[in-house]
């Protein structure tokens, strides 16, 4: 069987925590020798990365490795579009005045 005649396989994972926690997806598609990874916040288009491999076995192994990494981090298989997007929450950043000296020290004269 040649790489061109394979049927693309897609694995879709989501990580959604209650409250203000993570709400993101990770999708891996193997289409012959090409592995496409798409990831981002649920409800957004996300970012895409594409890699090409020498053999179908290497492409499938790379995809399985990526999926395994995400499952270990807490992602679970899901159906795209079932979870509603959440609004983005921003943490309040409190800044303090710099403790650096206003004038650089003189190293020589």
**Does residue 90 surpass a pLDDT of 70?**
no
User: Residue ranges per domain, the chain?
Assistant: 3-77
Compute the distance between CA of residue 35 and CA of residue 51 in angstroms, rounded to an integer.
5
> Do residues 76 and 15 touch, judged by C-beta distance below 8 A?
yes
- The residues, ordered by sequence, that sit 6+ positions from 8 with a Cβ below 8 Å of its Cβ are 29, 30, 31, 32
Q: What is the mean pLDDT of residues 72-96?
A: 75
Sheet holding 9-16, edge to edge: 47-52, 34-41, 23-31, 9-16, 76-77
pLDDT tens digits for range 10-60: 999 988 777 667 789 999 999 999 999 999 988 888 999 999 999 999 999
Model confidence, pTM: 0.69
Provide the token pair at 76.
Answer: 């679970």
Compute the distance between CA of residue 74 and CA of residue 77 in angstroms, rounded to an integer.
10
Enter the CATH code of domain 3-77.
2.20.140.10
């Amino acid at each position: 069987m040649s790489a061109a005649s394979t049927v693309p396989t897609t694995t879709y994972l989501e990580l959604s925590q209650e409250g203000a926690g993570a709400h993101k997806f990770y999708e891996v598609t193997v289409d012959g020798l090409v592995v496409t990874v798409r990831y981002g916040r649920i409800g957004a288009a996300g970012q895409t990365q594409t890699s090409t491999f020498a053999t179908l076995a290497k492409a499938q192994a790379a995809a399985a490795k990526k999926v395994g990494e995400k499952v270990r981090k807490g992602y679970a298989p899901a159906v795209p579009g079932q979870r509603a997007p959440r609004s983005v929450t921003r943490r309040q950043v409190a800044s303090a005045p710099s403790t650096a000296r206003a004038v650089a020290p003189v190293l020589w004269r």
